[in-house]
Amino acid sequence: MEYEFHWNIVFQKLPQLLNGAFVTLHVSVLSMLIGIAIAVLLAIAKMSDARIFSLPATVWVEIARNTPALFQIYMAYFGLGAFGIHLSPYAAVLSALVFVNAGYLTETFRGGFQSIPKTQYSASKSLGMSSTQLYRYIILPQMFRRIYHPMTNQFVWSILMSSLGILVGMNELSGETQRLQSLSFRTLEFFIVAAVMYFLITKFVLFSAALISQKVFKGEL
């Protein structure tokens, strides 16, 4: 192998890489939070009988699920730009991730909701539960249990896909790596470190998720 590794430059630039990793985490967490909020609304709209609500929700979900994330990011950046709507690279990536997260989570939430047998509603009523009690103690805990795992996966997906920020010059981990490697031309070193960082971030997220689920669900998922 002709390639000689120069690691010292990577260590010098470690603060910048860590800063990039922070931006990655930041944008993915935010995209999940906003995505969840929108997905709840979309799921309700999609289950509605009125087409005026269900149709737009369906269109959103299907576009989000059936086009590449890369396309959505370009669309948010240069596509909206053609209308004079100028998002910063951060906002473009965030909105693309929110769009997709909301699309996928809508189906997750709807599935979770519909998976609960209708008989449980009548059973709780006959036990004299109020509807707040019904949702608080019966429906939501079960639902949450069912959507927890898909939600964790979606979060990991967001972290990985935020790497597409490299294509709109965003300063998240991949974009920062790209900048640093083109200044020093140490491609392998910088991208290896970035890969390790992504791995650690996703492992950390999955580990915390497992920890939380043990606490909350007492292991029965």
Instruction: Give residues in contact with another protein (CB under 8 A).
Output: 1-3, 6, 62-63, 65-71, 74-75, 78-79, 81-84, 86, 88-89, 156, 160-161, 163-164, 166-171, 174-175, 177-179, 181-188, 191-192, 194-195, 198-199, 202-203
Helix ranges, the chain (H): 8-12, 14-47, 51-66, 69-74, 80-81, 89-114, 119-126, 131-133, 140-161, 173-184, 187-217
Q: Which amino acid is at 106?
A: T
CA-CA distance, 184 to 9, in Å (whole number)?
A: 8
* Cα 111 from chain centre: 18
Indicate the SS3 state at residue 45.
Answer: helix
Minimum separation from the CB atom of position 143 to another protein (A): 19
Q: What is the phi-psi region of residue 185: left when phi exceeds 0, alpha when psi lies from -120 to 50, beta otherwise?
A: left
CA-CA distance, 69 to 71, in Å (whole number)?
A: 5
